[in-house]
Amino acid sequence: MSFSSKIVLITGASRGIGAATAIMFAKEGADVVIVGRNEEKLKEVEVECSKFGKKPLVITADLAKDEQVKGIVNKTIDAFGKLDILINNAGILKKNDIKSEGFIETFDEVMNTNLRASVLITNVAIPHLIKTRGNIINVSSVAATSTSVVNSVTYKVSKAALNHFTRCIALELAPHGIRANTVSPGPVETDIFETAGIPEALQNYSGQLPLKKVGKKEEVADLILFLASEKAQSITGANYVIDNGWLLN
């Protein structure tokens, strides 16, 4: 796959799946815009992307702030004049219990990052994606359709909503030649569980999955690149699961 003439914007690109996806797009010749809150981590990703001959545009931004989200798209257009591919990858996982006092505060925080930010940046990017007959890929989770893990209701609801949002915009944007799809990983070797305060979860999952392993971020990035490529030109409104059999349990 070659993306030598494509401009790719990736949120949550400072680590994990987002970083792996940015590096892989850079390897395939794309001009990459990497967005995140951790400036130091973004610089590390910038170094890796630059090894393939093109320096990425690095944007430090908080997706919970509307003006910063709008600025991400504006800076991309100012730098490259167009946008071909939008990867909404930013997301957070936080434990919360519907019975707890702080439930609504956590609910708002997770929904703002996992859903609202993706909706907003998509809305702002649409005029530019229409011009290029572009591509939207939203990174969701198998948690969107599973209730097997307790104390993560907000994360699951946010991802379920993201899945349905993707299907809805796929239909609305099809007349403009824009495709929109979702990738739903199962447990993946990233620091999301550690950040959520449950570092033991990843090791526990590896023995429970039918394929007896958790995913690698590069595997998810491979799938994202496939959906962004001409090989997937007839695929829209789909949800691609990559979970080592999680949903079979």
Q: How confident is the model at residue 147 (pLDDT cuts 50, 70, 90)?
A: confident
**Total tally of structural domains belonging to the chain:** 1
Which of 3, 25, 107, 155 does the annotation list as catalytic?
155
Q: What is the CA radius of gyration of the chain?
A: 17
Q: The tokens 């962004």 sit on which residue?
A: 228
Q: How many distinct helices (H) and strands (E) make up the chain?
A: 9, 7
Domain-located, residue 2: no
Quick one: pLDDT at residue 94? 87
Domain-located, residue 1: no
**Whole-number average pLDDT of the chain:** 93
Q: Domain limits at 83? A: 7-243
Cα 61 from Cα 36, distance rounded (Å)? 6
Stated pTM of the model: 0.93
First to last CA, the chain: 34
User: Which residues are registered as beta bridge partners of 8?
Assistant: 32, 85
Domain-located, residue 153: yes
Domain-located, residue 249: no
- The enclosing domain of 61 has a CATH number of 3.40.50.720
Quick one: pLDDT at residue 111? 96
Quick one: pLDDT at residue 191? 64
Q: Is 205 an active-site residue? A: no
Quick one: pLDDT at residue 192? 60
Which range (42-51, 78-87, 199-208) has the least confidence?
Answer: 199-208
- Tokens matching residue 164: 């349905």
